[in-house]
Amino acid sequence: MIVIYSEEHRLQSGRSELNDGQLVPCYEKPERADIVRTRLETVGIGPILAPESHGPAPLERVHDAGYLGFLQTAWTEWVAEHGDWDALPLNWVAPGMHRRVVPRSIDGRLGYYSFDAGTPITAGTWRAATAAADSALTGADRLRAGDRCAFALCRPPGHHAGRAFYGGYCFLNNAAIAAQSLRDNGAARVAVLDVDYHHGNGTQEILWERGDVLFVSLHADPADEFPYFSGHADETGAGAGEGFNLNLPLPWGTDWAAYAEALAVAAARIRAFAPDALVVSLGADTYGGDPISRFRLLSEDFLRMGAALAGIGLPTLFVMEGGYAVADLGVNVANVLGGFENA
């Protein structure tokens, strides 16, 4: 399967995130993409190609224009105000306050457009995020050209980014941008399946009122886990999208046996929807060794996951999301893709 990868991912390299009350080195770091790329080369999954530039139009199909403008200038404004350290928000809106007016202050706008303090904006964030979106779009082009599957090795990831907000290490929603591109180029229906450990709240928000793009997500129960305020089973969509959002929250400690059952439910829902293509938000932070997550999948379980995804029987674009056990991330991701290809 063709792998789309851009060196520009390196431009997103934050120094620190706020985690457990401390400023710690960012978990979402360039080594993640490097180890995945190296493993894919070792096992012969490829060829590995650079993305083609698709310009701003596909981003504007999914994201708010004011938000995209903010992302482009945030770093320059931040440096002018505070100097050359990662831009992190510190203030958010609460009930009884107002977000009618977009703040003039860069600090105010960081809070206005974000939902966590773990997602630094750096000098290269915009370029890295657009290269990741272009990777997903190039992958969507491959499906349109008739490929059975493709893998967009996106960094930074995307599934927490909404129409007008960033967070959870995500700025542009690569999976939603790819799904929209498939819709805009002839697919009548597209499904997005999110197997990252965390709920894809951004993808859900973007697709909430859409009946033409189904969103299905397996993730840690938000009662216990980030992003806390999205991902419950009773969130089913609204308007034309009512019934086209399926959340399958799972408890801490979930192992392959329980995960596989939920994955079968997800697969059945996707088959019933009969889409023309499937976009998989592929996070490998369901791994037992992940430093910030609490599921218990083993490396060999990712082979089984790939085979189960192949069983859905659709042209499939994999889009990289989370996974922070860096030493094992390459093996785990390659196992999903290899399990899919060899099914």
The residues carrying an active-site annotation are 160
Q: Which residue from 120, 168, 202, 231 is in contact with ligand 6XA, where contact means CB under 6 A?
A: 168
Q: Which residue from 321, 331, 335, 340 is in contact with ligand 6XA, where contact means CB under 6 A?
A: 321
φ, ψ at 26 (rounded to 5°): -60, 130
Instruction: Please report the DSSP string for 164-207 in residue order.
Output: TBBBTTBSS-HHHHHHHHHHHTT-S-EEEEE-SSS--HHHHHHH
Residue 298 interaction partner, one of Zn ion, ligand 6XA, none, beta carbon < 5-8 Å per kind: none
Cα separation of 54 and 200, whole Å? Answer: 24
Residue 168 interaction partner, one of ligand 6XA, Zn ion, none, beta carbon < 5-8 Å per kind: ligand 6XA
Looking at beta carbons, which residue is closest to ligand 6XA?
322
Q: 226 or 256: whose CB is closer to ligand 6XA?
A: 226
Cα separation of 336 and 174, whole Å? Answer: 19
Grouping H, G, I as helix, E, B as strand and the rest as coil, residue 127 is helix
Cα separation of 114 and 255, whole Å? Answer: 32
118 lies in the site for ligand 6XA, by CB under 6 A: yes
142 lies in the site for ligand 6XA, by CB under 6 A: no
171 lies in the site for ligand 6XA, by CB under 6 A: no
Name all contacts of 298-304 with Cβ < 8 Å and 24+ positions apart.
Answer: 298/256, 299/328, 299/331, 299/332, 299/335, 300/335, 301/256, 301/259, 302/331, 302/332, 302/333, 302/335, 302/336, 302/339, 303/335, 303/336, 303/338, 303/339, 304/256, 304/260, 304/339
Residue 236 interaction partner, one of Zn ion, ligand 6XA, none, beta carbon < 5-8 Å per kind: none
Q: What is the dihedral of CA 68, 50, 10, 28, to 10 degrees?
A: 80
Residue span 182-221 as binding mask against Zn ion, x where in contact by CB under 5 A, dash where not: --------------xxx-----------------------
196 lies in the site for ligand 6XA, by CB under 6 A: yes
Contact 32, 157 (CB under 8 A): no
283 lies in the site for ligand 6XA, by CB under 6 A: yes
Helix, strand, coil percentages in the chain from 3-state DSSP, rounded to 5: 40, 15, 45
- Count the residues of the shown chain that bind ligand 6XA, applying the rule CB under 6 A: 13
Q: Which residue from 115, 169, 171, 340 is in contact with ligand 6XA, where contact means CB under 6 A?
A: 169
Smallest separation (angstroms) from Zn ion to the CB of 28: 9
Q: Which residues neighbour 179 within 8 Å (Cβ) at sequence distance 6 or greater?
A: 140, 190, 192, 207, 213, 279
What is the chain's length? 343
225 lies in the site for ligand 6XA, by CB under 6 A: no
Using CB under 6 A as the binding rule, the residues of this chain from 13 to 42 that contact ligand 6XA are 19
222 lies in the site for ligand 6XA, by CB under 6 A: no
285 lies in the site for ligand 6XA, by CB under 6 A: yes
Smallest separation (angstroms) from Zn ion to the CB of 129: 17
Q: Which residue from 118, 227, 241, 283 is in contact with Zn ion, where contact means CB under 5 A?
A: 283
Residues in contact with ligand 6XA by CB under 6 A are 19, 118, 160, 168-169, 196, 198, 226, 283, 285, 292, 321-322
Residues in contact with Zn ion by CB under 5 A are 196-198, 283, 285, 322
